[in-house]
Amino acid sequence: MNFPAIIVNFKAYESALGAQAHTLAQLHDQVAATSHVTLGIAVSALDLATVANLVNLPVFIQHVDPVEYGARTGHIPPAAAKAAGAFGTLLNHAEHRIPMDVLEKTIALCKQVGLFTLVCAESPEKIQQILPLQPDAIAYEPPELIGGSVSVSQAQPDVIQKVVEIAGSIPLLVGAGVKSEQDTKISIQLGAKGVLLASGVTLSPDPSGVLMSLIQGMKS
């Protein structure tokens, strides 16, 4: 995956599921076509196959389980996600935490099938725990700032520098409260490789305008 990158998590917002997810994904595709920044989207398993066929973007599934094909009712095998068109998966989001032993198995299985892993971490200490698992990228998201009006780049710029150093060669993205050109500008200046956000785009009346503003911040 090329960096810098903006990853938009569609979550389970009504404005980003079903037909509306398809429209929103195509909007991202149109913006990406004129940008030097990688735009990726994390979609519901319900929309994965359709969206992956609609766009020329890295499409992430919002979660997979550490299982192979078989009697696994309700589980999502990484191999099935890959076959449905997923480029990667989002793991350990604040809204879907995974125990470390489960996370380790999941990352290992994703590596076997070629699924890119973007793992969320809520603290510098958690990043240090995750590093030995060798995910493809890490997203630092303090849970108290997710969905709020204050971004992590504004509230914790010193911590961003710290977690970038901790992550080392593993690309680190910044999440939680990100929604503006200034947020992406600060994040990149502090060494991050991109941002992860959701409501700033998915709930905006002008998602295209928000995306263009975020991209502009990465050019500054």
Residues recognised as catalytic: 93, 141
User: Given 3-state DSSP classes, what are the helix, strand and coil percentages for the chain, each rounded to the nearest 5?
Assistant: 45, 15, 40
**Within 10 Å of residue 132's Cβ, how many Cβ atoms?**
8
Instruction: Provide the phi-psi class of 217: left if phi over 0, else alpha when psi is between -120 and 50, else beta.
Output: alpha
Classified as helix, coil or strand, 127 is helix
- The backbone region for 85, taken as left when phi is positive above 0, alpha when psi lies in -120 to 50, beta otherwise, is left
A 10 A CB-CB count for 58 gives 21
Q: Which pair of tokens denotes residue 216? A: 């502009």
- Nearest-angstrom CA–CA distance, 139 and 154: 16
b/e per residue 25-47 (b: at least 16 CB within 10 A): bebbbebbeebebbbbbbbbeeb
